[in-house]
């Protein structure tokens, strides 16, 4: 089979389309989780940590330089580790949601047990002969 035919089968196969849908859904779920963390979780965490907002936490390397007219001559250079903490919390929440989804999928999969395989033809034939001999 030529490489072009193999590629055509691969692209038109269901797995690629399912993968594309999964990537799009992951992006949407990521936005939802990001909104959940920044709008719901972090205000609660900030409330219990004395009103602190994690996204504002930073380590300033160089202070901003303000010109005489009030304009910023040189912007502040800082390590924004608070935003990194928010990202870590996002990761933990996404990981937990994925864990719950896979766990529930596996439970559903176990409930749908496969039907037992049909016995080989020779065993079926022997069973028929046995039943005929009993008669």
Cβ neighbours of 37 (radius 10 Å): 21
Residue 88 is part of a domain; what is its CATH number? 1.10.1200.120
The predicted-structure confidence for 51-104, as pLDDT tens digits, reads as follows 777 778 889 898 888 888 888 888 889 998 888 887 888 788 878 877 888 888
Residue 114 has pLDDT above 80, yes or no: no
Domain that holds residue 93: 3-114
pTM beyond 0.75: no
For residue 120, tell me if it sits in a domain: no
Give the separation between CA 102 and CA 96, rounded to whole angstroms. Answer: 10
The domain tally of the chain equals 1
pLDDT value at 118 more than 80: no
Residue 85 counted as domain residue: yes
Contact 75, 62 (CB under 8 A): no
């Amino acid at each position: 089979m030529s490489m072009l035919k193999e590629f055509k089968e691969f692209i038109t196969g269901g797995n690629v389309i399912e993968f594309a849908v999964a990537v799009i859904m992951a992006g949407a779920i990521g936005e939802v989780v990001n909104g959940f963390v920044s709008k719901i979780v972090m205000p609660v965490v900030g409330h219990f940590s004395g009103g602190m907002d994690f996204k504002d936490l930073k380590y300033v390397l160089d202070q901003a330089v303000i010109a005489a007219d009030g304009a910023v001559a040189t912007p502040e250079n800082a390590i924004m580790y608070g935003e990194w903490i928010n990202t870590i919390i996002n990761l933990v929440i996404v990981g937990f949601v994925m864990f719950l989804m896979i766990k529930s999928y596996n439970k559903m999969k176990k409930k749908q047990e496969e039907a037992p395989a049909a016995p080989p033809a020779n065993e079926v034939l022997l069973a028929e002969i046995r039943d005929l001999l009993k008669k």
